[in-house]
C-alpha cells in the first residue's frame, strides 16, 4: 500500500445551485448571482495522493499529498471590458480533458511532483499509479472548498489547493485503512462487492494510540485468491 499512488479527477464548481446558510436574526440574506444556474463556472482537478506514513511515536513522516493540479490555461483577453483591458491574461478552464491532456499532465506535473515529494528511503522502490481510486479524498476536499465561497476561477483554484493542503494526514490515514479493510472483504467475497464496510472505531483507536498502521490479512485467504486467479 505504501508504494501505490492513487489519482482521480473531478469537477469543482464555484458554487452550488442551492445552499443552506445559518444567519443571525438581524443579518442580511446573502446574495449570489451568476449568468445562469445551468452554466456555473467549474474547473476539473487531478488529485494524486498516497498513504501517509508515521513513526513509532505517531509523528508524521510523510503526509501522502503528491499534489492537486487544475486543468486550466491562461489566455489573453480578446476584448476590453469594465473589469480588464484587452490582452490581460485570463484564467480559463480546460473543458475537454481527453487522453492526450491526461497523458501530458501525468508526465509534466504528476511525475515531477512524485520525484520531489516521495520519501528518500524509498527512492529505489517501484511505484504504482492507480487511476480512479482517490474518490473519498476528493469528496472530502469538495466539501471543504465551499467554505471559502470563491467568486472566480482563480479563487476557486486557490480554495481547492488550500483545502487539499489543509486536509489532515490522520483522516487520510483512516481512509486508507478503510480501503485495506474493503480489499480484505472483497477477497472474502471472491471479488464481489456484496459486503458491508467494516468499522473499527478508528477515531477512538487513534486517540488511544492504538490505531494500526496497516490492516493484517490472513495468509491462507491470500493464497486462496491467488489459486483462484491462476
User: Model confidence over 171-223: pLDDT tens digits?
Assistant: 899 999 999 999 999 999 998 889 998 888 888 888 888 888 888 889 999 99
Q: What is the mean pLDDT of residues 2-23?
A: 84
Which residues have CB under 8 Å from 132's CB, separation 6+? Answer: 7, 8
Cell triple for 155: 479563487
Check pLDDT > 60 for residue 37.
yes
Question: Which of 45-59, 73-87, 104-118, 142-156 is the most confident on average?
Answer: 104-118
Q: Kindly state the helix (H) or strand (E) to which residue 160 belongs, with its residue range.
A: helix 153-166
Does residue 39 share a domain with residue 121? yes
Does residue 71 share a domain with residue 94? yes
Does residue 193 share a domain with residue 123? no
Prediction pTM value: 0.79
Does residue 14 share a domain with residue 109? yes
Does residue 191 share a domain with residue 158? no
Does residue 75 share a domain with residue 130? yes
- Cα–Cα nearest to 46, from 137, 127, 120, 116: 137
Q: Indicate the number of domains in the chain.
A: 2
Least confident of 39-43, 120-124, 139-143: 139-143
Q: How far apart are CA 55 and CA 213, in angstroms?
A: 10
Residue 86 lies in a domain: yes
Residue 38 lies in a domain: yes
Cell triple for 69: 493540479
Q: Which domain holds residue 225?
A: 178-229
Amino acid at each position: 500500500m505504501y508504494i501505490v499512488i492513487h489519482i482521480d479527477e473531478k469537477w469543482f464548481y464555484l458554487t452550488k445551485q442551492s445552499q443552506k446558510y445559518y444567519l443571525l436574526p438581524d443579518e442580511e440574506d446573502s446574495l449570489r448571482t451568476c449568468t445562469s444556474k445551468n452554466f456555473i463556472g467549474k474547473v476539473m482537478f487531478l488529485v494524486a495522493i498516497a498513504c501517509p506514513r508515521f513513526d513509532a511515536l505517531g509523528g508524521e513522516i510523510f503526509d501522502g499529498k503528491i499534489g492537486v493540479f487544475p486543468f486550466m490555461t491562461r489566455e489573453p483577453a480578446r476584448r476590453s471590458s469594465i473589469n480588464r483591458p484587452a490582452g490581460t491574461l485570463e484564467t480559463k478552464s480546460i473543458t475537454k480533458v481527453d487522453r492526450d491532456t491526461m497523458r501530458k499532465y501525468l508526465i509534466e506535473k504528476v511525475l515531477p511532483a512524485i520525484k520531489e515529494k516521495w520519501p528518500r528511503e524509498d527512492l529505489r522502490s517501484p511505484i504504482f499509479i492507480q487511476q480512479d481510486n482517490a474518490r473519498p479524498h476528493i469528496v472530502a476536499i469538495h466539501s471543504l472548498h465551499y467554505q471559502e465561497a470563491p467568486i472566480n476561477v482563480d479563487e476557486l483554484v486557490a480554495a481547492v489547493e488550500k483545502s487539499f493542503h489543509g486536509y489532515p494526514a490522520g483522516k487520510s490515514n483512516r481512509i486508507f485503512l478503510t480501503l485495506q479493510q474493503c480489499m480484505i472483504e472483497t477477497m472474502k467475497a471472491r471479488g464481489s462487492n456484496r459486503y458491508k464496510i467494516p468499522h473499527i472505531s478508528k477515531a477512538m483507536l487513534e486517540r488511544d494510540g492504538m490505531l494500526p498502521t496497516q490492516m493484517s490479512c490472513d495468509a491462507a485467504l491470500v493464497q486462496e485468491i491467488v489459486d483462484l486467479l491462476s
